[in-house]
Structure 1
Amino acid sequence: MSDYSDTTQPLLQGINDQARVTELSSEAVEELLAEEQPVSVGWWLRLVGWESKLLWYLSGASIVVSIFNFMLSLVTQMFTGHLGALELAGASIANVGIQGLAYGIMLGMASAVQTVCGQAYGAGKYASMGIVCQKAIILHLGASVILSFLYWYSGTVLRAIGQSDSIAAEGQIFAHGLLPQLYAFAIYCPMQRFLQSQNIVNPLAYISVGIFLVHILLTWLAVDVVGFGLLGAALTLSLSWWLLVIVTGLFILLSPSCKETWTGFSMKAFRGLWSYLKLTMASAVMLCLEIWFSQGLVLISGLLPNPTISLDSISICMNYLNWDMMFMLGLSTGASVRVGNELGAGKPKVARFSVIVVNVTSSLISIILSAFVMICHTALSEAFSSDDAVITAVSDLTPLLAISVLLNGIQPILSGVAIGSGWQALVAYVNLSTYYIIGLPIGCVLGFKTSLGVAGIWWGMIFGVFLQTVTLIILTARTNWSKEVEKAEERLKISADEEKLDLVDIA
C-alpha cells in the first residue's frame, strides 16, 4: 500500500472542493478507511459530507416517492373520513386488514428485486437487471390472482375476525373498489425497485408528485362533486395507481437511462422462477411480519368497546405513523441501495461507513418529527375527523405516537440495511420473536385486561418495535462486512448458474 500522505493528498483536494465532492470515488474512500493510521476529526467530517451527499441523492427522491405514493391512500382516507365515522371505519379496516395484507406480501417480494438488482448493479451486471424485474412482475401478478379472492370476499373475512356487520359491509365496498389497484401495485413495485437499484430516482419522484396532484383532483370530483361515495373514492385510488404504472413503464421503455439494464421483454424471465421465488419468499416473510404487526393491532382495536371510536383513533394515528414510516423507508431505500452497491462492488469499509452515517442522520430527523407530533396533536386530529370524540381519542394517543416516531428513526433503516445485505431470512426470525411472541401478547393484555384500552394495544406495538430495533442494532454492530462482500459475490454466482436466475451473460 502506498504511503499514507501520498494516498490522502489527492483525496483531500477532492473533498475540499465541495463542487466536485461526488467525484470522490468509492475506491479511494475504501482505501482511506482501510488505512491503519488514525484519521483526524476534520477528515471524518469531510467523509461524512461525501457519504451524506451520495445518500441524500438517492434517499431524497426515494423519500418523495414513498411519501407521495402513500399519500394517495391518505388523501382517499381523508375524503372518506368526512363522509362519516362509519365510512372512515370501513375504509380504515379495509385499508389495514385487506389492502395491508396484500401490500405486505407485495413489498416483501419486491425487496428481493432490491437485493439482487442492487448487488448486480454494483458488480456491473447490468443486462441481468431487466430479467430480474420481469421475473418479479410475473410472480407478483400470480400472487395478485390469489389475493383477489381476499378482496372480493373481504366482508366475510372482516366479520370472521370479529368486526361488526356495519363496519365489515363498508369495508367490503371499499375493498371491491381497490381490486384493480392490487394488480397495478404488483407491476409498479418491481419497476420502482428496478429503477432505484440503479440510482434512477429523480424521475420516480417527479412521476409520483404529478400523479398525486391528479389524484387529489380526481378524488374531489368523485366524492364531493359527483357524490360517488366510498366506492368512488376506492375506484379513483385504483385509477391513480394505474396511471402511476403506465407513466413509469413508459419511462423504462423509452428512457436512454435504462438502455443497458432494460434490453426488452424476454422469455428468459420464465426460466428459473422457482429459484427466484425462494428468495422472494424469504423477503416477503420478513416484511410481512413487520407490516402485519402494526396492522394487526389496528384490527384488534376494532374488538374493543365502542369499536368505531377506537378504530378511528388508532387508524388516524397509524396513518401519521405510516407517513413517518414512508419518509424513513425512503431513507432506508437509499441505505439499501448504497449498501447493496458497495457490497456488490467489493467495498466492505464503505458499506459499513454508509450504515453508520444513515443511522445517525435518521435518528436526528426522528427527534425533530417526534417534537412536531407533540406540538401539533390537535391539528393532526382535525385533519381526519370533525367528530369531537375521535379528536379527543387521537389527542390522547399522540404521546405514544411520538415514541413510535422516535423508534422509527432506527428500525426501518436497519431493515433497509438487511435488505441490501440479503439478511431477509434472519430478520424474519427476529420479527416473529419480537413482534408476535412478545409485542402482540403484551398489547392484547394491556388493551383488554386493563383500563388502557387502545393505548394498551399501542404500548404492545412499542415494546415489539423496541426489542426488534435493539436486536437489529446488535446484529449490525457484529457484522463482518468483508464476509458480506464474499456472500454477495457468491449470491451473484449462484444467481447466474445455468437455469437459475441467469443474471450474467444473458444479453
Structure 2
Amino acid sequence: MEEQLLVSAAEKIPGGGGDGESLVLCEVKKQVCLAGPLIVGYLLQNVVQMISVMFVGHLGELALSSASVATSFAAVTGFSLLFGMACSLDTLCGQAFGAGQHHMVGVYNQRAMVVLGLASVPVAALWTYTGEILLLFGQDPEIAAGAGSYIRWMIPTLFVYGPLQCYVRFLQTQSLVVPVMLSSGVAALSHVLVCWVLVYKLRMGSKGAAVANAVSFLTNLSILALYVRLSPSCRTTWTGFSRQAFHGLLGFLKLAVPSALMVCMEWGSFELLVLLSGLLPNPKLEAAVLSICLNTNAFAFMVPLGLGGAISTRVSNELGAGRPQAARLAARVVMMLALAVGASEGLLMLLVRNVWGYAYSNEQEVAAYIARMMPILAVSILFDGLQGVLSGVVRGCGQQKMGACVNLAAYYLVGIPVALFAAFVCHLGGMGLWFGILCGLVVQMLLLLAISFCATNWEKEAMRAKDRVFTSSLPGDMANVDYSTGQVHPVYLCGRISKIEVLGTGCYSTFTLNKIYRETMENFVRVL
C-alpha cells in the first residue's frame, strides 16, 4: 500500500495538467537553460590550459612539446581522477536537493572536498617523478625532462582543481549555473594577463605558464566560494563547515571511485591513441592528424558535456523529489536534444572537411589527411554526444558502477583491440585507430541506452534516491539502523546503552524509513 502511494505521488509531475507536448517543451526549456551556461563554463575552463600552452609555444619547439606531453599526462593521471570523483556529487547533491534535504547538499560538497584533497596527495607524488616515468616509456630525454619540470609547477593547480569541481557540482545540482559561467569567464579573461606577467615580465618561462593555471583556477574558485557564502540562493544549502563532512567518507568513496573510473577509462582511451600513433609509419604526420582530431572532438563534445550536466541535475532532482515519471521524461528529451546536436555538428564537420585542416597546419598533406578523416570523425562526434548525455542519466540515477563496467567493456575490450587490429594488421594507420574508438563509442552508447531505458526501473530508483538521502541525513546514532533486519544496533544515549527494536523485516520504501525514524525517536524518548 505504501509503495503504491509513493508511485502514485511520483506520477504527479509539476505542470502535469497540460498535454504531453507542453510537458516536453517545458522540459526542453529547463534543459537548455541549464545546459547553455554549463557549456560556456566548460569551454572557458578548458581555454585556461590552452592559453598556457599557447604562451609556451612562443618559447620554442622543445618547450611546446614538453608542455603538451605534461598536459596530457596531467589529464590522464590527475585531472580525470578528480573530475570523475566530483561527478559523484551529481548523484548525491542532486538527489538531496530534490528531496528537500538542503543542508545535506553542503555536507556532501564539503565531504567531497575532503576526499579529493586526500586523493590529490598521491597524485602530486606521482607528478614529482613524471620525467623519470616518461623516460621509462621511451620518451625523448629532453622532452621528458621538460615535461617533468612543467608538471611539477602544476602541482598547486591540482589542489585547486578538486575544490573548484566540487563547487561547480554544488551549484549545478541546484540549477545555479550562471555563476559558474561568469566565474569561468572572469578566470579565462584574467588568465591572459596572468600568463603574460609570469612568463614574460617575471621571466619564469614555461614554469610561469604552469603556475598561471593555479592562479586562474584559484580566481575561479574564490569567486564561486564568495557567491556561495554571500548569495541568498545558497542560504539553506550552505550553513558553514560541518564536522559531518568527516563522517561517511567510505560511503562516499563507494560512489566516487566508480564515478572516477567512468571518466578515467574514457579519457585514457583517447590519450592512448596519440601514444599508439607514434608506432605507426610516418609517426609525425599520424600524431599531428590524430591530435587535431582529438582537439576537434573535444571541442565538439563541450555541448553534449553541458547537456550531460543538465540531465544529471534534472534526473537526480526529480528522483530525489519522488517523481520518477518526470525523470524518465527528462532522459527521453535529452536524447532528442543530443541527437539533434550531434547530427548538426557532424554535418558541419562534413561541410568544412576540405578546409578544417588548414586551421591547424599549412601543410597540404596534413589538410588532405584531415579531409579523409572527417567522415569517420563526424560519425564519432554523433555517438560521443549520445553517450555523453546517457552518462549524465547514469550519474543522475547513481548507477556509476554500471557505467564503469560499460566503459571498461566498450573501450578496452572492444575499442582499443579493434583500433590495434585496424591500424597495424589492416594497415589503416591513424584512420584505423580512430575507427577502433568509434566502435568503442557505439558499444558504449548502446549499452548505456539499454541500461537507461530498458534495465532501469524508475520507480525503484526514486525509492533508492529517497533512501540514500534519508540514511545520510540521520544523526550518527540513528545511522546504525540495520535496514535488512529492522533492528537498531546498540546505541549510546545519555550514558545508557539501549537495544531498540523497530519495524519488521522486508524491503523499505521511503514511507517505511520515515516510520522507522519516528518510532525510533519515540523509543529514544522512552529511554530518557
**TM more than 0.5:** yes
Correspondent of 2:305 among 300, 324, 329: 329
Which residue is 1:200 aligned to?
176
Q: d(CA) in 2 for partners of 1:275 and 1:51? A: 33
What's 1:297 paired with?
273
Secondary structure in 1 matching 2:318: helix
| 1:494 aligned partner | 471
The aligned counterpart of 2:256 is: 280
Q: Counterparts of 1:326 and 1:352 in 2: how far apart (Å)? A: 24
User: Is the aligned partner of 1:158 residue 2:140?
Assistant: no
Summarize deviations over 1:43-64 as a string: whole Å, max 9, x none.
Answer: 4332221111111121111111
Structure 1 equivalent of residue 207 of structure 2:
231
Does the aligned pair in 2 maintain the 1:92–1:312 contact within 8 Å? no
Letter in 1 for 2:103: A
1:116 matches 2:70: no
Aligned CA distance change for structure 1 residues 357 and 114 (closer, same or farther; 3 Å): same
- Give the AA of the match of 2:171: L
- Cα distance in 2, alignment partners of residues 301 and 399 from structure 1: 19
Q: Which residue of 2 aligns with 1:18?
A: none
Greater RCO, 1 or 2 (C-alpha within 8 Å, sep 6+)? 1
Output the TM-score relative to the length of structure 2: 0.82
User: Which amino acid counterpart does residue 62 of structure 1 have in structure 2?
Assistant: L
Separation of aligned partners in 1, 2:199 and 2:285: 23
Corresponding residue for residue 413 of structure 1: 389
Unaligned residue ranges in structure 1 (runs of 5+): 1-24, 34-42
Using the aligned pairs only, state the percent identity.
35
How much does 1:434 deviate?
Answer: 1.2
Q: 1:383 to 1:211 in 2, by over 3 A?
A: farther
Change beyond 3 A, Cα 1:169–1:366: same
CA contact (8 A) 2:160 2:217 kept: yes
CA distance in 2, matches of 1:233, 1:400: 35
1:133 is matched with 109
Do the aligned residues in 2 keep the contact of 1:285 with 1:428 (CA within 8 Å)? yes
Secondary structure (helix, strand or coil) at the match of 1:409 reads helix
The answer to whether the 8 Å contact 2:91/2:397 transfers is yes
Q: Is the deviation greater in 260-269 or in 218-227?
A: 218-227
Give the aligned length: 471
Q: Does 1:376 align with 2:323?
A: no
Q: Tell me how far apart the structure 2 counterparts of residues 377 and 153 of structure 1 sit (CA, whole Å).
A: 41
Q: Which amino acid aligns with 1:170?
A: G
Q: 2:77 aligns with which of 93, 101, 104?
A: 101
Counterpart check, 1:353 vs 2:353: no
Secondary structure of 2:139's counterpart equals: coil
Calculate the aligned-residue CA RMSD, in Å.
2.7
**Is the 1:276–1:501 contact (alpha carbons within 8 Å) kept by the matching residues of 2?**
no
TM-superposed CA distance for 1:347, in Å, is 0.7
Pairing partner for 2:460 from 448, 463, 483: 483
Classify 1:92/1:414 alpha carbon distance in 2 versus 1 (closer, same or farther; 3 Å). same
Contact 2:324 2:461 in 1 (8 A): yes
Match for residue 215 of structure 1? 191
**Which residue is 2:221 aligned to?**
245
Deviations, residues 277-326 of structure 1 (Å, cap 9, x unaligned): 22211211222222222122223223434444433332232122112222
1:153-179 CA-to-partner distances (Å, cap 9, x unmatched) read 112222323333343233223322322
Alpha-carbon distance in 1 for matches of 2:425, 2:230: 59
Match of 2:509 in 1: none
Paired residue for 1:441, among 408, 413, 417? 417
Partner SS state of residue 200, structure 1: coil
Asked if 2 retains the 8 angstrom alpha-carbon contact of 1:85 and 1:312, the reply is no
Using a 3 Å threshold, how does the CA distance of structure 1 residues 167 and 308 change in structure 2: closer, same or farther?
farther
Q: CA deviation at 1:250?
A: 1.5
Any idea what SS the aligned residue of 1:51 has?
helix
In 2, are the aligned partners of 1:328 and 1:409 still within 8 Å (CA)? Answer: yes
Conserved? CA contact 1:78–1:383, under 8 Å = no
* AA at the equivalent of 2:448: L
Deviates more, 1:197-206 or 1:488-497: 488-497
- Distance apart, 1:388 and its partner CA: 5.8
Q: Of 395, 399, 423, which aligns to 2:399?
A: 423
Q: Does 1:454 align with 2:430?
A: yes
Q: C-alpha distance in 2, partners of 1:345/1:121?
A: 8
* Contact 1:271–1:500 (8 Å) recurs in 2: no
Q: Give the C-alpha shift of residue 29 in structure 1.
A: 4.5
Shift of 1:114: 1.4
Measure, in 1, the Cα distance between the counterparts of 2:191 and 2:313: 29
Q: Is the 8 A contact 1:70 1:326 kept in 2?
A: no
Is this contact kept in 2: 1:336–1:420, CA < 8 A?
yes
User: How far is 1:462 from its partner?
Assistant: 0.8
Distance 2:293 2:328 in 1: 34
- Aligned residue type for 2:299: W
Asked whether the equivalents of residues 313 and 393 of structure 1 are also in contact (C-alpha less than 8 Å), the reply is: yes
